[in-house]
């Protein structure tokens, strides 16, 4: 584990110098930059692409089912507030880093910086990039920010990102590889007491290559991948959002993505054979009178 102690010290020094005045001013600016994270259309249906943030999960079947919209867990008010807090923390982190004098870039052509692969069906959005990090001077790196409760935060501090949050490690490796970045400044904040953890992650080309291959295997699969366990009581399965459709026989959600007639095409496009048209996300979610459950799910 490589801690970013100099960066952490620079952030705290900047806050103490003027008691947070510069930080608060920068916060007002950075909040405006995260508008893309609150795009309302994104919340009306499941995620359009296979996300890099999910790629490190244990179960390949879960990845395939979620990308194929076989299920979608609608969140309650508490969880929506919790996710929204994570978005807001991005703005706080950006303001903190800028207050400490480091150069960051959060937007590209007015939108969050993105990666894409597998014909546009795989991708993700970066929290930002940084230059001037004292642990890795004069080179550009990835910024990745997370929030945790105290129990999870304490484990992160003890063993580091790769061991305690493997999904995040995989996500960062994908972003670094796709954008040609030489390191990640991984920042985590404890929601219980506002303690921060800053860690440097170095590129792991083998990991990046293996998981990009996994994304391609999901997108090009001719049938549903095997479960990570045949046992419904397996720890990963018990808490999985796909548990019901995977283990209890709950019907697959009726969308175009689970239909016999749909084709996943380059450019992130889903195409309906009988209607001979490209389908919008709204059309995919609604399905139509021609729907037939794909044999890929049987």
Mean pLDDT of the chain: 93
Confidence of residue 35 (pLDDT cuts 50, 70, 90): low
Structural tokens at position 97: 């880093």
Give DSSP secondary structure letters for the chain. -EE-HHHHHHHHHHHHHHTTHHHHHHHHHHHHHTGGGG-GGGGSSS-SSEETTTTTSS-HHHHHHHHTTS------HHHHHHHHHHHHHHHHHHHHHHHTT-EEE-EETTEE-EEEEGGGTEEEE-SEEEE--TTSTTSEEEEEEEEE-HHHHHHHHHH-HHHH-HHHHHHHHHHHHHHT-S-EEEEEEETTT--EEEEEE---HHHHHHHHHHHHHHHT-SSPPPPS-S-TTSHHHHT-TTHIIIII-PPPP-SGGGBTTEEEETTTEEEETTTTEEPPHHHHHH--TT--B-GGG-
pLDDT, tens only, 134-155 = 999 889 999 999 999 999 999 9
pLDDT at 112 over 90: no
Q: Look up tokens 């995620």; give the residue.
A: 47
Q: What angle do CA 172, 173, 178 make, to 5 degrees?
A: 100
Q: Look up tokens 């705290």; give the residue.
A: 12
What value does the mean pLDDT take over residues 78-99? 87
Q: From CA 242, how far away is CA 293, in angstroms rounded?
A: 17
Q: From CA 138, how far away is CA 135, in angstroms rounded?
A: 10
Q: Please tell me the predicted confidence (pLDDT) of residue 37.
A: 52
Q: From CA 203, how far away is CA 222, in angstroms rounded?
A: 32
Q: From CA 267, how far away is CA 145, in angstroms rounded?
A: 29
Structural tokens at position 284: 């995919």
pLDDT, tens only, 162-202 = 999 999 999 999 999 999 999 999 999 999 999 999 999 99
pLDDT, tens only, 232-278 = 999 999 999 999 999 999 999 999 999 999 999 999 999 999 999 99
Residue 236, burial from CB neighbour count under 10 angstroms (0-12, 13-18, 19+) = middle
Confidence of residue 42 (pLDDT cuts 50, 70, 90): low
Contact by Cβ (8 Å): 133, 116: no
pLDDT, tens only, 203-234 = 999 999 999 999 999 999 999 999 999 999 99
CATH 2.120.10.30 describes domain 2-217: no
Confidence of residue 55 (pLDDT cuts 50, 70, 90): very high
Q: From CA 98, how far away is CA 103, in angstroms rounded?
A: 6
pLDDT at 38 over 60: no
Q: Please tell me the predicted confidence (pLDDT) of residue 298.
A: 80
pLDDT at 44 over 80: no
């Amino acid at each position: 584990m490589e801690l970013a102690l100099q960066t952490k010290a620079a952030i705290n020094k900047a806050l103490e110098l003027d008691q947070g005045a510069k930080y608060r001013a920068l916060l007002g600016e950075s909040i405006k930059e995260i508008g893309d994270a609150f795009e309302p259309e994104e919340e009306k249906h499941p995620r359009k692409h296979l996300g890099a943030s999910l790629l490190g999960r244990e179960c390949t079947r879960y990845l395939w089912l979620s990308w194929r919209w076989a299920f979608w867990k609608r969140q309650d008010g508490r969880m929506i507030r919790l996710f929204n807090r994570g978005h807001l923390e991005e703005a706080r982190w950006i303001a903190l880093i800028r207050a400490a004098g480091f150069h960051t870039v959060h937007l590209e052509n007015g939108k969050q910086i993105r990666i894409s692969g597998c014909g546009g069906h795989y991708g993700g959005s970066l929290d930002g990039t940084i230059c001037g990090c004292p642990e890795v001077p004069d080179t550009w790196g990835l910024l990745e920010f997370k929030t945790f409760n105290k129990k999870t935060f304490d484990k992160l501090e003890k063993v580091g990102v790769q061991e305690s949050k493997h999904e995040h490690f995989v996500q960062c490796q994908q972003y670094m590889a796709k954008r040609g970045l030489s390191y990640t400044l991984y920042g985590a904040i404890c929601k219980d007491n506002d303690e921060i953890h800053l860690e440097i992650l170095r590129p792991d080309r083998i990991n990046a290559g293996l998981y990009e291959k996994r994304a391609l295997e999901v997108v090009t699969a001719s049938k549903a991948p095997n479960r990570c366990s045949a046992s419904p009581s397996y720890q990963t399965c018990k808490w999985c959002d796909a548990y019901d459709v995977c283990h209890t026989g709950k019907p697959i959600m009726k969308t175009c993505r689970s239909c016999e007639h749909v084709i996943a095409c380059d450019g992130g496009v889903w195409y309906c054979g009988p209607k001979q048209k490209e389908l919008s996300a709204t059309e995919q979610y609604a399905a139509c009178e021609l729907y037939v459950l794909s044999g890929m799910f049987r």
